[in-house]
Amino acid sequence: MRNRRGLLVLIVAAIIASLGCTCPCISMLPLPGGDPMCQEAPYSPPPETLQESDLVGTWEAYYWGDSVDTLIMRDDGTFKQIFYDPAEDGYRYETPWNRWWLEKLPDGAVRLHLAGARYYPDGIETAEGEGVQSYGEPNPSPMPFFDPFAEEGVFMVGELVLQVRADSSGELLLHHLWMHHDGGFAIAGCQREQFRRVETP
């Protein structure tokens, strides 16, 4: 059950490869007739006036089945992550109130850093690695992730890093980085690559 997303990605990759498509940014392309939220990808950088207070509230992301990933962002610079997957024997992970901060990049992009948060889009096993990979070796090494907007590698050891983006209506969203350069696949739906705000203070 924990490897369902990985299996889906492999199947979709095989289908796309058989069709001769090698575009590394396929998950960023809109699909005709697909999820309306996906039609806007790859979205825009946030306004230059973005402040920490603009991210305060409750955000949710959905990856597979009934699993839900929740971020509760407070204006004191702390947050809580709660991940719940009822299909995995009621698996639940909850951080204490940890620190979060923004990193502004030269091109106007903004990254959100969440200390102690986990990356769940690729499954529970990857999330519990907390940004490192061991392959059975005694000294685990940092796991490289890819920022599809800044087009560069990022390490997330002991933290979760998200890109702050805006849709066409100006609504902010928090976009996951990718496990690999070729990212995910739009055919699987873009919503599992992003948090959307569901509650404001």
Q: What is the pTM of this model?
A: 0.77
The more confident residue out of 87 and 20 is: 87
Burial, 42: exposed, middle or buried (Cβ in 10 Å; 0-12, 13-18, 19+)?
middle
Strand (E) or helix (H) holding 9: helix 4-18
Q: What percent of the chain has pLDDT above 70?
A: 72
Of 146, 141, 112, 115, the closest CA to residue 129 belongs to 141
pLDDT, tens only, 165-193: 998 889 999 999 998 765 544 434 566 78
Q: Scanning the structure block, which residue is given the tokens 């106007």?
A: 108
pLDDT in the model for residue 24: 37
Burial, 81: exposed, middle or buried (Cβ in 10 Å; 0-12, 13-18, 19+)?
buried
Of 121, 108, 195, 111, the closest CA to residue 155 belongs to 111
Of 193, 187, 135, 123, the closest CA to residue 165 belongs to 193
pLDDT in the model for residue 183: 52
Q: Dihedral through CA 40, CA 45, CA 51, CA 54, nearest 10?
A: 0
pLDDT, tens only, 97-145: 999 999 999 988 999 999 999 999 999 999 999 999 766 667 778 999 9
Phi, psi angles (nearest 5°) of residue 74: -110, 155
AA letter at 82: I
Across the chain, what does the average pLDDT equal?
A: 81
Q: Which residues contact 10 (CB under 8 A, 6 or more apart)?
A: none
Phi, psi angles (nearest 5°) of residue 187: -65, -25
Say how far apart CA 45 and CA 33 lie, in whole Å: 25
pLDDT in the model for residue 14: 46
pLDDT, tens only, 132-160: 976 666 777 899 999 988 999 999 999 99
